[in-house]
Amino acid sequence: MSRAAYELFSREGVRAVGVDAVIARAGTAKMTLYRNFTSKDDLILDFLRRREQLWTREWLEAESRRRGESPRARLLAIFDVFSEWFRAPDFEGCSFITTLIEVNDPGHPVHRAAVEHLANIRSYIETLAAECGIRDVDSFARKWHILMKGSILAAHEGDTEAANRARELGELLLAQHGC
């Protein structure tokens, strides 16, 4: 059930996909879904948690650590990873951003969860910034995150060089902060 929801929500968004589509993809009964998830929102929250684990932790963070030997190199490696991702035929964009747009009510639990997952990405950036010796890690991480999110949206527009452009701006930002 979770795998079917993950695949559908990643590709089509959380609002465009109905519970019946998840059930059909999973090849299960409606009662099975509702035994595990009390509502579609609970299914979406599960999807976002899984997306953070798979996309943020096991892919983005792991790859930036693997590719970069220093905090500075790890920060820049994010855009190297993005560059490959943007060129992939199955590029689907950031589910956290998409969910924010689709569920526009700031008080909605799904919206709040997407905001929290984005904050967790920023937390990783803050950690790297602190390791670089940057004093105002919050401000730096927010700027870096804008580069990340902006490059994802530009890639949606068809700019396959968006990650490289963001990396160039990232180098300027790192120089400005003495890292």
Give pLDDT tens digits for 50-79.
Answer: 999 999 999 999 999 999 999 999 999 999
pLDDT value of position 31: 85
Cα 100 from Cα 15, distance rounded (Å):
11
Residue type, position 149, single letter? K
User: Looking at domain 41-176, which of 3.40.50.300, 3.40.50.10710, 1.10.357.10, 3.40.50.2300 is its CATH number?
Assistant: 1.10.357.10
List pLDDT tens digits, range 128-164: 999 999 999 999 999 999 999 999 999 999 999 999 9
Q: Where are the domains of the chain?
A: 41-176
